[in-house]
Structure 1
Amino acid sequence: MSQSTATATALASPRRIAALALPALVVLAAEPLYVLVDTAVVGHLGRVPLAALAVGGTVLTLTAWLGTVLAYGITGRAARRFGAGDRAAALAEGVQASWLAFGVGVLVAVGMQFGGDALARTLAGGGGEVADTAGQWLRIAALGAPGLLLAAAGNGWLRGIQDTRRPLLFVLGPNLLSALLCPLLVYPAGLGVTGSAVANAIAQTVSGALFVGALLRERVGVRPRPALIRQQLVLSRDLLIRGLAFQASFLSATAVAARFGAASVGAHQIALQLWFFTALLLDALAIAAQALIGATLGAGDAAGARALARRFALLGGVCGVAFAVLIAAGAGVVPSLFSSDPEVREQAMVAWPWFVAMQPFAGVVFALDGVLIGAGDIRYLRNLTVVAAVGGFLPAIWLSYAFDLGLGGIWAGLTLLVVIRLVGVLLRLRSGRWAVVGAVR
């Protein structure tokens, strides 16, 4: 066994991967779990507040998605610097990412003060009580946007320097605080749905402040460096385009499913949300891959990075097979947990075989996405995703509509999207062109 392979084996030990992936999973799950608590609290206020939360929450979800894009890009850059033995440079990436995050967050917060009402009316389909309440919620909750994005940047640079303990504390603590504040402000304090927005803004601001405090304690220069911020913007741009291709695909799938009737779109929603849940679990593995691959390439070990990538691909495939077995075993039970409508459950069974079949492929794809993001090979991932969406998935689902193939056709298209991406990332892995060593790519 070569020294590089031995190093990769040590890095890819189950304990090491778990040490990175499990805290990342908790951080990834914290926000969706808080949204569930928030929804349950506001839901008891009535139909209008719940609808307003749904409208306003959609906008902040998009803001959180921007934060995720930023975090993924920074993880790889900081990890490369860290792997090259230059911790100060890795922290400098964190400083500039934090400036970028703060700037975007302030723009969002200010923009919502002036345009939040108009945006709420647009999303709510016109004026009325729901739009007015959503606009009020959005203006207050948006004040937490700088903190939300600062926390995302903080997650990125801390993962890059292989620190997963502090992100866990800095995200989980404020979310627990918000989960406690929300019912208190909504009910005993009598603020109603506004209390939800206040709790949200407080939690995001506290979280962002904790990450900024961690950066300041590192005693690094905090002056903005426009050239470095521009490099990070290019990276974020490519990840953003990639994400938009995914969003267009999922929105189109839902639109086509709706044309097949209420039962079809209901069943599609069940399967799609479960798929998002499995993706969340696999994302934790991808984050571990980002950190370890970036550090290995930063240390100048291309052979070790290739060996590490193969191990992550294998591990992703194993996770995918495990998910496939569990999902197949739950075919007769899981849809019933989400709907008592027999037609919805019947339609879910149409999508289910495709949902099961794609899991092993998706496991490998998610793992290798993390590998290539960690390697800084974002442009290739961007192009591959656009080609898979525009050249494969979108034509497949619109043909499904044209030939009345139903939900089975839609999920065959989703499987095709995953397979095209699988072929693309495997070809890239085999070429070795992604394994560029050095502190930056």
Structure 2
Amino acid sequence: MPTHKRVWAIALPMILSNISVPLVGLVDTAVVGHLDGAHFLGGVAVGSTLFTFVLWAAGFLRMGTTGFAAQACGAEDGTTLRRVLLQPLWLGLLISLAVWLLQQPLIDMGLYFLDSSQALLDQARLYVGIRLYSLPAALANFVLIGWFIGAQNSRFPFLLLLAVNLSNVLLDLLLVVVLQWGVAGAAWATVFSDCLGLLLGLFLLRPVLLRYPGRFAWLQALRLQGAAPLIRVNRDILIRTLALESVFYLLVVQGARLGDEVVAANAVLLNFLLLTSHGLDGLAHALEALGGHALGRRDPQALRKVLVVATLWSLVLSCIFVLLFLLLGQPIISLLTDLPDVRRQASIYLPWMAVMPLAAVWSYLLDGLFIGASRARAMRNAMLAALLLYLPLAWSLQGLGNHGVWLGFFCFMWLRSILLGGWFVYLWRRDRWIV
């Protein structure tokens, strides 16, 4: 029972806060989905995908930070814990500056392969151009959340994410519904909420730092001294994330070639996937923190207990999502958009979302296990292998239309899980997981 309590002490606040992320997406979709035209919703979907590509490409700032922070806490090394915080914050700022300088060619390249209407592309360009203003704050929030999770403090990420997402919802309603700013209003709502989250996150640092005494080595952090392990892990996670984002981008491209209504319908359905991923990520975060802590203490028995408990509850939660989507999928679609063609298209492909949690649960759980162990190279290799297997499969399924798009994605999720799970079993059976 103590292991169950420890897992849920971290997982429950993270699930509640994580669920608020797709709820923001639901509100975005609902307020834009009721504007007069599918190109508005499609534009937000495409623009959000392009921005998310940049954001998730820098997701290593969270994932890499969590494992090293957890291991520093396990070793009770406050100075290393501070360095693990400063270095990814600095890297996030450098990434933001680079993206700002290259934003126009990056946006042009992202829209080049989309065979959609000019009205949709214009809305996408407007949305992503505004969202980029908040990139430094969004990346800093990634670092802070990962660092808090690694320090086994799930309450502060809960407060940070809740503040970001609740403010986003309120600003969505104000700017889009009340002030009629349209797609620009949805983008500005996210910009303001990301900045608010950063201010709150910086305020919450002090109590955690007091718990682990140490010193800030500012010059070493800015020069990235001692950052070689972090950079290696971040490099591998970056490659892994780019491979994953390529799959999501291909999903958008394939949908765009089937018409604006299909793009909009897929945008509605992706909210179901986001709800699943962010809910299951709460348990994956618990496995990251407790698994990394066990590795820091060199305690294989504790790691085994945490893995078993996290797996059990992840399966239970994935089954709950399946039932939820089967029973409430149609009402949710109707809530998100009142466009008849979009509703009809989304309803046709809803069954794919109902079964998706059964395939997705394993990949999220295994990601948490490998992140806590800072085994980014294995994650990279498994993702690249899954991508290479997925690409010819996606090409061969084009004749099935949008059903082929979702079938290919479903198979991709299974490929991720099988490859990563097989590698873990191989290392564990040979006593090579804890080095």
User: Are 1:149 and 2:139 counterparts?
Assistant: yes
Alignment of 1:122-137 (within 5 A): none
1:399 corresponds to which of 396, 400, 415? 396
**Counterpart residue identity of residue 101, structure 1:** G
Indicate the residue corresponding to 1:239 in structure 2: 237
1:77 equivalent to 2:77? Answer no
For residues 185-225 of structure 1, give each alpha carbon's deviation from its aligned partner in whole angstroms, at most 9, with x where no partner exists. Answer: 67888977666555543332232233334446737413324
Which deviates more, 50-59 or 363-372?
50-59
Q: In the alignment, what sits opposite 2:11?
A: 21
C-alpha separation in 1, matches of 2:85 and 2:64: 11
Displacement after TM superposition at 1:385 (Å): 1.8
Residue identity opposite 1:417 in structure 2: F
Distance 1:123 1:421, change over 3 A: closer
Structure 2 unaligned regions, length at least 5: none
| Structure 1 alignment gaps of length 5 or more | 1-8
Separation in 2, partners of 1:54, 1:347: 19
Deviation at 1:20, TM superposition (A): 1.4
Residue in structure 2 matched with residue 3 of structure 1 by the alignment: none
* 8 Å CA contact 2:49, 2:249 repeated in 1: no
Equivalences for residues 160-309 of structure 1 within 5 A: 160-181=150-171, 198-215=188-205, 218=209, 220-221=215-216, 222-223=218-219, 224-253=222-251, 255-256=253-254, 272-309=270-307
- Greater displacement, 182-191 / 236-245: 182-191
Whether the 8 Å contact between 1:25 and 1:280 is mirrored in structure 2 is: yes
Q: CA deviation at 1:135?
A: 5.9
> How far has the Cα of 1:157 moved from its partner?
0.6
User: Helix, strand or coil: the match of 1:211?
Assistant: helix
- Aligned partner of 2:411 among 408, 416, 421: 416
- In structure 2, relative to structure 1, the CA distance for the partners of 1:27 and 1:68 (3 Å cut) is farther
Q: Which residue number corresponds to residue 5 of structure 1?
A: none
Shift of the alpha carbon at 1:293?
0.5
The letter of the residue matching 1:395 is P
Q: Does the aligned pair in 1 maintain the 2:164–2:196 contact within 8 Å?
A: yes
- Shifted more, 54-63 versus 332-341: the winner is 332-341
- 1:64–1:268 Cα change, 3 Å: closer
Larger RCO, structures 1/2 (Cα 8 Å, 6+ apart): 2
What CA deviation, in whole Å up to 9, does each residue of 1:69-92 have, x standing for no partner?
321221111111111222332232
On the 8 A contact 1:78/1:90 being kept in 2, the answer is: yes
Aligned residues of 1:147 and 1:204 also touching (Cα < 8 A): yes
When normalised by structure 1's length, the TM-score is 0.77
Aligned position for 1:6: none
Q: 2:421 aligns with which of 417, 426, 430?
A: 426
Letter in 2 for 1:160: G
Amino acid at match of 2:300: A
Q: Which amino acid aligns with 1:72?
A: M
Deviations 1:167-196 (A, max 9, x none): 222332244345445555678889776665
- Residue 205 of structure 1 aligns to a residue whose secondary structure is helix
Worse-superposed segment, 322-331 or 336-345: 336-345
CA distance in 1, matches of 2:421, 2:107: 46
Which structure is larger by alpha-carbon Rg, 1 or 2? Answer: 1
Identical pairs, percent? 29
Q: Are the counterparts in 2 of residues 150 and 212 from structure 1 also a CA contact under 8 Å? A: no
AA paired with 1:280? Answer: H
- The alpha-carbon deviation at position 376 of structure 1 amounts to 1.4
- Partner Cα distance (2:82, 2:203) in 1: 13
For the Cα contact (< 8 Å) 1:185–1:199, is it kept in 2?
yes
Shift, 1:58, TM fit: 4.2
Question: In structure 2, what is the Cα distance between the partners aligned to 1:81 and 1:394?
Answer: 39
Structure 1 residue 299 displacement after superposition? 1.0
Between the two proteins, the alignment pairs up a number of residues equal to: 421
Displacement of 1:371: 0.9
Amino acid at match of 1:390: L
Distance 2:255 2:189 in 1: 36
Tell me if structure 2 keeps the 8 A contact 1:182–1:196: yes
Q: Tell me: CA distance 1:336–1:24, structure 2 relative to 1, closer, same or farther (3 Å).
A: same
Contact 2:17–2:157 under 8 Å retained in 1: yes
Where does 1:355-366 land on structure 2 (aligned, <5 Å)? 359-366=357-364
**SS of equivalent residue, structure 1 residue 300:** coil
Please provide the CA RMSD for this pair. 4.2
Partners in 1 of 2:257 and 2:316 — Cα distance?
36
Closer/same/farther in 2, CA of residues 409 and 37 from structure 1, 3 Å limit: closer
> For the structure 1 residues 308 and 271, does the alpha-carbon distance in structure 2 shift closer, same or farther, using more than 3 Å as the test?
same
CA deviation after TM superposition for structure 1 residue 382, in Å: 1.6
Q: What is residue 349 of structure 2 aligned with on the other side?
A: 348
CA distance in 2, matches of 1:174, 1:229: 30
TM-score, normalised via structure 2 length: 0.77
Which whole-Å CA distance do the structure 1 matches of 2:408 and 2:110 have between them? 33
In structure 2, C-alpha distance between the alignment counterparts of 1:264 and 1:110, rounded to whole Å: 33
SS in structure 1 at match of 2:71? helix
